[in-house]
Amino acid sequence: MLDKDKKIKVGIIGATGFAGVELVRILLKHPHAELSALGSVSFEGQAISGIYPSLAGLCDLVCTDSQSVIDKSDLVFACVAHGMSQEFAADCAKKSVAFIDLGADFRLESEDEYKEWYDGEFLDKELHEQAAYGLPELFRKDIRGKKIIANPGCYPTGAALALYPALAGGFVEKTGIIIDAKSGVTGAGRSPSQTTHFPLCNEGFAAYKIAAHRHTPEIEQSLSHAVGQELALTFVPHLLPINRGILTTAYAKLKEGVGLDEVYDYYENFYKNEAFVRLKSLGQTVNLRDVKYSNFCDLALHADERAGNLIVTSAIDNMVKGAAGQAVQNMNIIFDLPEGAGLDLIPPAF
Amino acid sequence: MLDKDKKIKVGIIGATGFAGVELVRILLKHPHAELSALGSVSFEGQAISGIYPSLAGLCDLVCTDSQSVIDKSDLVFACVAHGMSQEFAADCAKKSVAFIDLGADFRLESEDEYKEWYDGEFLDKELHEQAAYGLPELFRKDIRGKKIIANPGCYPTGAALALYPALAGGFVEKTGIIIDAKSGVTGAGRSPSQTTHFPLCNEGFAAYKIAAHRHTPEIEQSLSHAVGQELALTFVPHLLPINRGILTTAYAKLKEGVGLDEVYDYYENFYKNEAFVRLKSLGQTVNLRDVKYSNFCDLALHADERAGNLIVTSAIDNMVKGAAGQAVQNMNIIFDLPEGAGLDLIPPAF
Amino acid sequence: MLDKDKKIKVGIIGATGFAGVELVRILLKHPHAELSALGSVSFEGQAISGIYPSLAGLCDLVCTDSQSVIDKSDLVFACVAHGMSQEFAADCAKKSVAFIDLGADFRLESEDEYKEWYDGEFLDKELHEQAAYGLPELFRKDIRGKKIIANPGCYPTGAALALYPALAGGFVEKTGIIIDAKSGVTGAGRSPSQTTHFPLCNEGFAAYKIAAHRHTPEIEQSLSHAVGQELALTFVPHLLPINRGILTTAYAKLKEGVGLDEVYDYYENFYKNEAFVRLKSLGQTVNLRDVKYSNFCDLALHADERAGNLIVTSAIDNMVKGAAGQAVQNMNIIFDLPEGAGLDLIPPAF
Amino acid sequence: MLDKDKKIKVGIIGATGFAGVELVRILLKHPHAELSALGSVSFEGQAISGIYPSLAGLCDLVCTDSQSVIDKSDLVFACVAHGMSQEFAADCAKKSVAFIDLGADFRLESEDEYKEWYDGEFLDKELHEQAAYGLPELFRKDIRGKKIIANPGCYPTGAALALYPALAGGFVEKTGIIIDAKSGVTGAGRSPSQTTHFPLCNEGFAAYKIAAHRHTPEIEQSLSHAVGQELALTFVPHLLPINRGILTTAYAKLKEGVGLDEVYDYYENFYKNEAFVRLKSLGQTVNLRDVKYSNFCDLALHADERAGNLIVTSAIDNMVKGAAGQAVQNMNIIFDLPEGAGLDLIPPAF
């Protein structure tokens, strides 16, 4: 752990996007970190509190360019479109600055899949080998000691936490998995569009990128690790007319003879030391309301005995456990801080 | 068809519930029907426009008891909790008054299933044999000539219209079907509760009655007719923090070698004469926004070739095609009126 | 009145904006009008139902240029930014095509005020003299026989209907009037922006253009006609995170000795023949919910005897009575049709 | 100040209401307080986390009766209906337990006004003389040293902070003041009703208790202190279909010759040491979005020179600065703690 009196200097590239400003919200109260610099191409020279007046008096840092951010930081969070992080990562690596990428560049282990889904390539293969996929509850030991972290996508976080134990425990079939997920509109980011224009979004609801969303291979990758072989599943995201949260309803075929109780026991044991996973008692359900603004992932298990399916629902705040909160959790791990430092965020009751 | 100058006298039992007042909205503009009486236990003696001020000056009928409603009507719509309709139906049958039940009493063909899911019994088995299940696009020929109609549940309408053709055409497996549905809050009815209390409902989202909702056997019943044998599926409803609409995301395993194009052609042909079903072109999606306040069911088809699933999304207004609109459609059929009379409801763009 | 069998050919310039598509919704069911052409600069060559899928199968007209719209129409509605209508109006006048402007070019009688608030000028003063301000309940006799109509702004409609009688009846002072109005987001139009971006708009609320909104002189103009002299008032609009509606809370100082009952009697008499104004009984309030999707203006009167103020609240749907509905009302008047033709729109209860 | 190692034992009577659970959210992270007991009549014997699952794992205290709460606490917060607090206060006084009332019993100095507006009486006049009205920014010196605090109403907090300086500085007239306020639905409390039933509340908007709300005399009382004489004003609240926040638009007549700049300077100076008041620069506006979940009151000043009015808008979170946050602020004052302890709540950007 760092000298307790010396705070980690943390910079954010892409600080004025939604994930960026959520990082600011969390880091402002982190006991062992301090914001060193905020980078923004669109708002260079402007105070973050001018763009987000909620921060007035709390953070009046003026946005700067990405180079300055890297130069002033022990750790850089990058909140930029995929394809842009690799160069930042390379630069950070050169300067021994830790790098946590909230984008997609380092999430997929297979360059082939990256090509297929993102139409990009691995610019520096070595760099990719140094990176870890930062879903601590599932892959914590790979994260420790790393200096490049791929922060998971929002949907993959909710989906993997929901189904990994069922697969790892051998309770469900590897085929026939369905992930039906519903996300609040912050997931679409800061740029306005017809889809997110209030009168067209409000009181509407739709699926999108049906069986074609880029988070599909990432979900498959995590769940494949649970079973030690590749699997293919169906993932359908939906846009919920609320601000925050992803509710995932995951369906998997129960193996012959498997009962809900034994699955539940396995989950309970699997997550028993995880501060951010709250497994509901059998019979209870999860609600996005109960995790908003927090780093929690609430989980509930149900079985449909008539049709033979396990149904796992997970609820996360897409901006926290699905983005900025998990990124800070990763920061805590790689800097050997208490994993929950700065993440004692209480979800308001309403 | 009735004498065109003589309007059908239509009464509503349970007129002050959400389905009831939606019937009022539609029937006020029906060219061949007139409201004869509105029944309400809770609001007897009060004008409907006092309860719903939106109707001020448009319908100031004073609520009366159910007996008066039956006595004054050629047709009675019943919007009451399950278990209460059977007696009203019997009374109507005696008096040769047509009866359309928006509740659940006549929906299930099997008394065993009714017992299992509703904990009730068929009071008069003959009455049940005279009833038809009123989902016109699938079972129109059974509806004609009947005087007792079981108006389908909201979820079963969206689910059956989504998957019936895929099953009838033999494109998908009969097992492994998943129905993941999301409904607006009007589906919960007029009575306030913690679940529908604005600050707890707004900005929240949750699944409920997971694999335990009473609409499950009704969905299975309709889809079983498509394949000529019983089937069991998994149905999970969710509560959407919007007023109206049900979006159903239905998953079924494509049979070996089946391509999306042939499924699409079959759906196109299947629904080609249906005024209220709008099949989107391949690649397009459906949105609750586009069907609100109308009797349309919008449908879209997608295939996940990697995982081998057909994904059908359907969008309906739960209060119209899922309740009052479909009830009027059934009225039109049994009174030999143009099926779309009074249902030329244009969904507003926002 | 036109030959009943011959429908008025109606075109819309700016048909893909929110007011335009709302006109489409209303006109599709108008008994004496038919859509001749839809004009759009942004979407020329595309079907309106491609832009607004709610219209699929109901109106598949392909957008064309404004010249074609004028050439094919007996009446043109223009839904364009201020400054653009004057030329269209001049062209229509030349071709004896009636013209209803949903923009601001013809609303202000005084060119000086138009200059001050809109930074524009009257290109053809004669044209302006031929135009009437189309708020039928207050200025119906000026509208009849005109071929150019300035359709009122949304806020001015709600404000003028609320306070005109109180001023005309001499019940309140001409100074000290406050108009505090709250509008749904459709008032901001179809173009997305940060202000209307769902995650920033939803669950937020703010005043904007405080004492600086262009509708101020228009409200003053209407109310000045009530008293026969110019008056100045304070107008503050707010953006409500809902789709539709304007609730206006209007405050005026009651003259010494004036009681609420006499004011109420005057309002009741003033509006007694108005189909679209619903004056609530004393003690009742108005709610945006009750007028949505309709052409109604609901009004309620209250007095604060302690502070000596009259408080009038009005509720309209900003897209209907505040835009497209009122425009159709004006069309009906100038074509000598029943004023309510096509406007029998029932507000849904929810 | 208390011994830093000894935390204040804090109990809440009425802990399961909305203000109560918001107190729990804040107090759980207070550095100098610990929850000693939670009282609830409706939920005695149940864990607070069973009622509000957001608190699962964070606070699993089981609700008890009010007597136990008082016995276990150095300070009691009471969140109960008016009329119920006086006895709790008396009991606390006897036992030297500090008492902060989030209800209305101690807010009005005049028993006559309490009788008029609340139809109650002061059970123990001495007790009322010992109480202070806890709006720290305006009446801090009266609060220090007290053991009974009347925590202000939500509307009165927003209104008084908005207009007090303008009146105290002599910039505006004492008559003609209008307070037009808009509150989120949490202000209606935890009990469901037709008004707060989601489908009837959502997409609706209305004024209520027009010029008849019980917060009127409380607002007048605070502003009367600014001018040293009684004043009467008009207050109209509205129900906003959002969860949290009160936006107040306050209108007052500027005295002859007063310019906005001098008013602004006065406000700036007046609030310059206040950590929870954020005065916006001239030209900027306030938005409920920017204060949600925080103890801030954002203020903006505008002048309407044409009509001669000062317009002040204030934004608070009704559950924090309008209830629980301010109550904790009062606790900090009377226990001689740093006034902002536990209140460093950052409003999320969305």
Q: How many angstroms separate the CA atoms of B272 and B263, rounded?
A: 14
Residue of B nearest to C315 (CA): B54
Token pair 């309002």 in the structure block, residue: C267
Please give the pLDDT value at position C308.
98
Work out the minimum CA distance from D14 to partner chain B, whole angstroms.
Answer: 17
Residue of B nearest to A290 (CA): B204
* C185–chain D Cβ distance below 8 A for any pair: no
What 3-state class would DSSP assign to A96?
Answer: coil
Nearest to D293 among A278, A298, A348 (CB): A348
Helices and strands (H and E) in chain B: how many: 12, 13
Query: Residue type at B175?
Result: T
Identify the residue among C198, C202, C289 best suited for mutation to test binding to A, counting A beta carbons within 10 A and taking the highest.
C198
Q: How many angstroms separate the CA atoms of C254 and D157, rounded?
A: 28
Q: How many angstroms separate the CA atoms of C84 and C32, rounded?
A: 28
User: What is the average pLDDT across C236-255?
Assistant: 98
Contact flag D349-A55 (C-beta cutoff 8 Å): yes
Are the C-beta atoms of residues D241 and C288 closer than 8 Å to each other? no
Query: Residue type at D242?
Result: I
Contact flag D306-C211 (C-beta cutoff 8 Å): yes
Q: How many angstroms separate the CA atoms of C39 and C85, rounded?
A: 13
User: What is the average pLDDT across C75-85?
Assistant: 95
Q: How many angstroms separate the CA atoms of C167 and C159, rounded?
A: 12
Tokens of B36: 């004869």
Q: How many angstroms separate the CA atoms of C119 and C112, rounded?
A: 9
List the subunits that have 3+ CB pairs under 8 angstroms with B.
A, C, D
Query: Residue type at B187?
Result: G
Fold of the D155-317 domain: Dihydrodipicolinate Reductase; domain 2 (3.30.360)
Nearest to C236 among D176, D200, D249 (CB): D249
Contact map slice: D 235-264 vs B, CB within 8 A: 241-243
Structure confidence by residue, pLDDT tens digits, C274-284 = 999 999 999 99
Fold of the C8-152+321-334 domain: Rossmann fold (3.40.50)
- Tell me which residues of A are annotated as active site: 154
Among A156, A190, A205, smallest CA distance to A21 is for A190
Token pair 């993941």 in the structure block, residue: B180
Structure confidence by residue, pLDDT tens digits, D73-84 = 999 999 999 899
Which candidate in B59, B63, B154, B201 is catalytic?
Answer: B154
- For residue C1, pLDDT beyond 50: no
Q: How many angstroms separate the CA atoms of C43 and C202, rounded?
A: 28
Residues in chain A within 8 Å Cβ distance of C186: 199
* D348–chain A Cβ distance below 8 A for any pair: yes
Are the C-beta atoms of residues D171 and D255 closer than 8 Å to each other? yes
Q: How many angstroms separate the CA atoms of D109 and D115, rounded?
A: 11
Contact flag D54-A289 (C-beta cutoff 8 Å): yes
Q: How many angstroms separate the CA atoms of B250 and C147, rounded?
A: 54
Kindly report the pTM of this predicted structure: 0.97
Neighbouring C-alpha atoms within 13 Å toward the C-beta of C115: 6
Residue of A nearest to B282 (CA): A210
Tally of CB atoms within 10 A around D50 = 15
Q: How many angstroms separate the CA atoms of A317 and A184, rounded?
A: 9
User: Would you give per-residue pLDDT tens digits along chain A (350 residues)?
Assistant: 455 578 999 999 999 999 999 999 999 999 999 999 999 999 999 999 999 999 999 999 999 999 999 999 999 999 999 899 999 999 999 999 999 999 999 999 999 999 999 999 999 999 999 999 999 999 999 999 999 999 999 999 999 999 999 999 999 999 999 999 999 999 999 999 999 999 999 999 999 999 999 999 999 999 999 999 999 999 999 999 999 999 999 999 999 999 999 999 999 999 999 999 999 999 999 999 999 999 999 999 999 999 999 999 999 999 999 999 999 999 999 999 999 999 999 999 99
Among C41, C37, C44, C101, smallest CA distance to C69 is for C37
Q: How many angstroms separate the CA atoms of A153 and A135, rounded?
A: 10
Contact flag D288-C205 (C-beta cutoff 8 Å): yes
Please give the pLDDT value at position A5.
72
Residues in chain D within 8 Å Cβ distance of C232: 306-307
Q: How many angstroms separate the CA atoms of D323 and D19, rounded?
A: 6
Residue of C nearest to D209 (CA): C285
Q: How many angstroms separate the CA atoms of D324 and D29, rounded?
A: 13
Please give the pLDDT value at position B1.
46
Please give the pLDDT value at position B4.
59
Contact flag D205-C249 (C-beta cutoff 8 Å): no
Identify the residue among D154, D197, D239, D288 best suited for mutation to test binding to B, counting B beta carbons within 10 A and taking the highest.
D197
Structure confidence by residue, pLDDT tens digits, B37-66 = 999 999 999 999 999 999 999 999 999 999
Cβ-Cβ contacts under 8 Å for A257 (sequence gap 6 or more): none
Residue of A nearest to D346 (CA): A25
Which residues on adjacent β-strands are paired with residue D274?
Answer: none
What 3-state class would DSSP assign to A309?
Answer: strand
Neighbouring C-alpha atoms within 13 Å toward the C-beta of D186: 30
Structure confidence by residue, pLDDT tens digits, C123-138 = 999 999 999 999 999 9
Please give the pLDDT value at position B5.
72
Token pair 């923090």 in the structure block, residue: B241
**Reduced 3-state DSSP string for chain C:** CCCCCCCEEEEEECCCCHHHHHHHHHHCCCCCEEEEEEECCCCCCCEHHHHCHHHCCCCCCECECHHHHHHCCCEEEECCCCCCHHHHHHHHHHCCCEEEECCCCCCCCCHHHHHHHHCCCCCCHHHHHHEEECCHHHHHHHHCCCCEEECCCHHHHHHHHHHHHHHHCCCECCCCCEEEEEECHHHHCCCCCCCCEHHHHCCCCEECCCCCCCHHHHHHHHHHHHHCCCCCCEEEEEECCCCCCEEEEEEEEECCCCCHHHHHHHHHHHCCCCCCEEECCCCCCCEHHHCCCCCCEEEEEEEECCCCEEEEEEEECCCHHHHHHHHHHHHHHHCCCCCCCCCCCCCCCC
Residues in chain D within 8 Å Cβ distance of C350: 199-200
List the subunits that have 3+ CB pairs under 8 angstroms with C.
A, B, D
> D154 catalytic, yes or no?
yes
Where are the extended beta strands (E) located within D157-256? 178-183, 206-207, 234-239, 246-253
* D202–chain B Cβ distance below 8 A for any pair: yes
Please give the pLDDT value at position C4.
59
Are the C-beta atoms of residues B335 and B98 closer than 8 Å to each other? yes
Contact map slice: B 84-123 vs C, CB within 8 A: none
Q: How many angstroms separate the CA atoms of B318 and C55, rounded?
A: 19
Q: How many angstroms separate the CA atoms of B330 and B339, rounded?
A: 8
Please give the pLDDT value at position D1.
45
Q: At what angle do helices C154-168 and C136-143 cross, to 10 degrees?
A: 90
Token pair 């996005």 in the structure block, residue: A288
User: What is the average pLDDT across B303-326?
Assistant: 98
Work out the minimum CA distance from D334 to partner chain C, whole angstroms.
Answer: 34
Structure confidence by residue, pLDDT tens digits, B237-283 = 999 999 999 999 999 999 999 999 999 999 999 999 999 999 999 99
Please give the pLDDT value at position C5.
72
- For residue C57, pLDDT beyond 90: yes
List the subunits that have 3+ CB pairs under 8 angstroms with D.
A, B, C
What is the band of C92 on the pLDDT scale with cuts at 50, 70, 90?
very high
Q: Which residue has the higher pLDDT, A164 or B83?
A: A164
Q: How many angstroms separate the CA atoms of A314 and A318, rounded?
A: 11
* D346–chain A Cβ distance below 8 A for any pair: yes
Q: How many angstroms separate the CA atoms of B247 and A259, rounded?
A: 31
> Both ends of chain D: CA-CA distance in Å?
36
Nearest to C192 among A196, A203, A243 (CB): A196
- For residue B140, pLDDT beyond 80: yes
Tally of CB atoms within 10 A around C140 = 16
* B286–chain A Cβ distance below 8 A for any pair: yes
Contact flag C202-A203 (C-beta cutoff 8 Å): no
Tally of CB atoms within 10 A around B81 = 12
Mean pLDDT of chain B: 97
Which DSSP symbol is given to B187? G
Residue spans per domain, chain B:
8-152+321-334, 155-317
Q: How many angstroms separate the CA atoms of D55 and A294, rounded?
A: 11
Residues in chain A within 8 Å Cβ distance of D243: 350
Are the C-beta atoms of residues C77 and C40 closer than 8 Å to each other? no
Contact flag D198-B190 (C-beta cutoff 8 Å): no
Work out the minimum CA distance from D199 to partner chain B, whole angstroms.
Answer: 5
List the subunits that have 3+ CB pairs under 8 angstroms with A.
B, C, D
What are the CB-based long-range contacts (under 8 Å, 24+) for B97-100?
B97/B70, B97/B73, B98/B74, B98/B147, B98/B148, B98/B149, B98/B331, B98/B334, B98/B335, B99/B75, B99/B147, B99/B148, B99/B149, B100/B75, B100/B76, B100/B134, B100/B148, B100/B149, B100/B151, B100/B327, B100/B330, B100/B331
Which candidate in D79, D154, D201, D297 is catalytic?
Answer: D154
What 3-state class would DSSP assign to A263?
Answer: helix
Work out the minimum CA distance from C124 to partner chain D, whole angstroms.
Answer: 29
Size of interface A-C (CB pairs under 8 A): 56
User: Would you give per-residue pLDDT tens digits along chain D (350 residues)?
Assistant: 455 578 999 999 999 999 999 999 999 999 999 999 999 999 999 999 999 999 999 999 999 999 999 999 999 999 999 899 999 999 999 999 999 999 999 999 999 999 999 999 999 999 999 999 999 999 999 999 999 999 999 999 999 999 999 999 999 999 999 999 999 999 999 999 999 999 999 999 999 999 999 999 999 999 999 999 999 999 999 999 999 999 999 999 999 999 999 999 999 999 999 999 999 999 999 999 999 999 999 999 999 999 999 999 999 999 999 999 999 999 999 999 999 999 999 999 99
Contact flag C182-D238 (C-beta cutoff 8 Å): yes
* B196–chain D Cβ distance below 8 A for any pair: yes
